Amino acid sequence: MIQSIAHVTVYVLNQDEALDFYQNKLGFEVGTDMTVDGGFRWLTVFAKAQPDLELVLAEPKEGPMFTKDAADKIRALVADGAFGAGVFETANCQKTYEELFAKGVEFIQPPTEQFYGVEALGVDNSGNWFSLTQRAK
């Protein structure tokens, strides 16, 4: 059986800028930052409380996965906010929202009471949106 999730890919427009956002705005830590094969940069970050799940911050580029045209389309979709980066959990959505907002993080929905807790929706500096969720106890 599958025991856990180790890596999840988030497509970003610029790895340097994404690293700055995920580290200095969201407070993630750098997992691995290593350049392989003359240009491919394996860059991962993780939430401090969950080091075994890493987000791979990847720029869509021409390669085995994408043609140039497809990579350009993915980049455009990322910029247009077509993709979600995931659900990031917090013990206090309002407090974390205020902290992130003060750091300049853009939100498309402020903390809102839901039957399952409190949830806000933010956007990273590539255009990926994410949920900031506080689970109801």
Q: For the chain, what is the largest distance between any 2 Cα atoms, rounded to a whole number of angstroms?
A: 49
Taking the C-alpha atoms of residue 61 and residue 78, their distance in angstroms, rounded to an integer, is 13
CB of 9 vs other proteins, minimal distance in Å: 6
Taking the C-alpha atoms of residue 133 and residue 85, their distance in angstroms, rounded to an integer, is 13
Residue 21 or 130: the one with the smaller Cβ distance to other proteins is 21
Taking the C-alpha atoms of residue 114 and residue 117, their distance in angstroms, rounded to an integer, is 5
Residue 19 or 93: the one with the smaller Cβ distance to other proteins is 19
Side chain identity, residue 45? V
Taking the C-alpha atoms of residue 63 and residue 74, their distance in angstroms, rounded to an integer, is 13
> Residue numbers of the site for other proteins (CB under 8 A)?
6-7, 9, 16, 19-20, 23-24, 29-30, 32-38, 40, 42, 45, 56, 58, 61, 63-65
- Tokens linked to 126: 């590539």
CB of 19 vs other proteins, minimal distance in Å: 5
Taking the C-alpha atoms of residue 87 and residue 114, their distance in angstroms, rounded to an integer, is 15
Residue 67 or 114: the one with the smaller Cβ distance to other proteins is 67
CB of 29 vs other proteins, minimal distance in Å: 8
Residue 65 or 87: the one with the smaller Cβ distance to other proteins is 65
CB of 121 vs other proteins, minimal distance in Å: 25
